[in-house]
Structure 1
Amino acid sequence: MQKITPCLWYDGQAKEAAEHYVGIFGGEAGDSRVLDITYYGEEAPGRTGSVLTVAFRLAGQEYLGLNGGPQFPFTEAISLSVDCADQAEVDRLWAALSEGGEEGRCGWLKDRFGVSWQIVPEELPRLLADPDAAKAERTMKAMLGMAKLDIQALRDA
């Protein structure tokens, strides 16, 4: 059992979101699945029998989805960053997570539930930390002009 579990506050969409994410990350290394679902009881503030929480795992990391209501929508102040091995993985995750959502800049997007994601090639930190400061600066400039990150364009910078 992991010590810290991120809890994501949804407005009635926790189960749908968990199932959506499991479908996207199901083939990734590590275990991805819905672990447990709890329901509102008669004494709880939600509708009796509706989903309260959904525990789920994505590529080995556990999360808790809470149907807490509309009071606290997601913002970019917190995001889930995904390290991608290659451009094919960047492309696949970008397409799946941005569908019905909103594409951002520099590898950021919001999914259809409002959760912010960073889809990042594993190679990017190395390119940005290149000992040649001019090359690192060109990489940064190239990245700032992109929505979905293009590994070859970053290398070419």
Structure 2
Amino acid sequence: MQKIVPNIWCNRNAEEAGVFYASVFPGATSRVESRYPSEGLLDFQRDFAGEPLTVNVEIEGTRLVLINAGDEFHPNPSISLVLNFDPLMFGGDAEVAIAQMNSIWGALSDGGTELMPIGEYPFSPRYGWVQDRYGVSWQLMLTNPEGDPRPFIIPALMFGGAAQNRAAEALDLYTAVFEDAAIGNRFPYGQQTGPATPDALMFSEFRIGEQWFGAMDSGVEQDFSFTCGVSLEVSCADQHEIDRLWDALSAVPEAEQCGWLADRFGVSWQIVPANMKELMDHPNAFEHLMEMKKIVIADI
């Protein structure tokens, strides 16, 4: 079971976005996972009664959740999804990997914005960074088949703005808080690069369970940072795990709502029970959830 699921905030178009992603990635699927109830909604939610609430997207074994909501938040490049085009995933044929990469790049670029044009870079023979029509950021990279294997999708956190030069601190926190976690490769800038100090991280990675994540400090000034536009949902076994993670991560009291929190870097997390779907089938569960900050399973 995937313990940490990237959640993407959508502006009333989560179902449409899910269909789009299912068309972009070979073998991907999209389905409405939950709907807003007809009762117990807050005033600003009443227009959503009966509409999709969450849409589940599966891409190469990785689950993403699209949240159908209003225009309160938007994704930005502070959290992107790295697509790892390892030739080993394509029978060892780099040309096949590049062809697949080009096809997906074309689809994601249609109606989107190229942040770094696809081409050759010092760190990869083929790479590009694009923000698609829904505002979601994707980094497409042809990787070295001689390196350690990594999954096709790797969420990547970019520390800029108020969180500039704090990637290493975040790695230390996350790998201390989560069980079965470890830091992988770390590559410092080595010299002052824009706002990045010499010891800031040009790229790094960490693992939580079997899931890999990337982290880097921005090498250019950014006027944005982490928001609820992309959050990380953590599936917890019981109330004890919810309590432990909540106490370790929550650093912004005003951000606490319905299982959501913001950590000291501004990253949004959703700390939820693993059987959340089952719990939400209880009478008045949605109404009870709306009254909570940290989720208390017994009160649902």
Helix, strand or coil: the match of 1:89? helix
Count residues in correspondence. Answer: 143
SS at match of 2:153: coil
Gaps of 5+ in 1: none
Q: Is residue 127 from structure 1 mapped to residue 274 from structure 2 by the alignment?
A: no
3-state secondary structure, aligned to 1:6:
strand
- Paired residue for 1:7? 156
> What code does the residue aligned with 1:15 have?
A
Aligned to 1:101: 252
Moved over 6 A (4+): none
Residue range with higher mean Cα deviation, 32-41 or 44-53: 44-53
Q: Structure 2 length normalisation: TM-score? A: 0.45
Corresponding position of 2:139 = none
* TM-superposed deviation, 1:59: 2.2
Corresponding residue number in structure 2 for 1:40: 189
Identity %: 36
User: Residues 3-33 of structure 1, C-alpha deviation per residue, up to 9 Å, x if partnerless?
Assistant: 11111011110010011000000x3xxx411
Give the whole-Å Cα distance in 2 for the aligned partners of 1:43 and 1:140. 49
In 1: Cα distance, 2:249 partner to 2:192 partner = 36
Higher strand share: 2
Residue 112 to residue 47, structure 1, CA distance change in 2 (3 Å): closer
Give the aligned partner of residue 171 of structure 2: 18
**Higher Cα Rg: structure 1 or 2?**
2
Q: Which residue of 1 aligns with 2:133?
A: none
> What is the CA distance between 1:41 and its match in structure 2?
4.4
TM-superposed CA distance for 1:70, in Å, is 5.3
Q: Which has the higher contact order (CA 8 A, sep 6+)?
A: 1
Pick closer, same or farther for the CA change 1:93–1:52 going to 2, 3 Å: same
Shift of residue 43, structure 1, vs aligned partner: 8.9
Tell me the secondary structure at the aligned position of residue 34 of structure 1: strand
Q: Structure 1 length normalisation: TM-score?
A: 0.83
Structure 2: runs of 5+ lacking an equivalent: 1-149
Q: What's the offset of the Cα at 1:50? A: 3.4
Instruction: Give the letter for the 2:153 counterpart.
Output: I
1:89 is aligned to: 241
2:204 is equivalent to residue 54 of structure 1: yes
> Is the contact made by 1:104 and 1:147 (CA closer than 8 Å) also made in structure 2?
yes
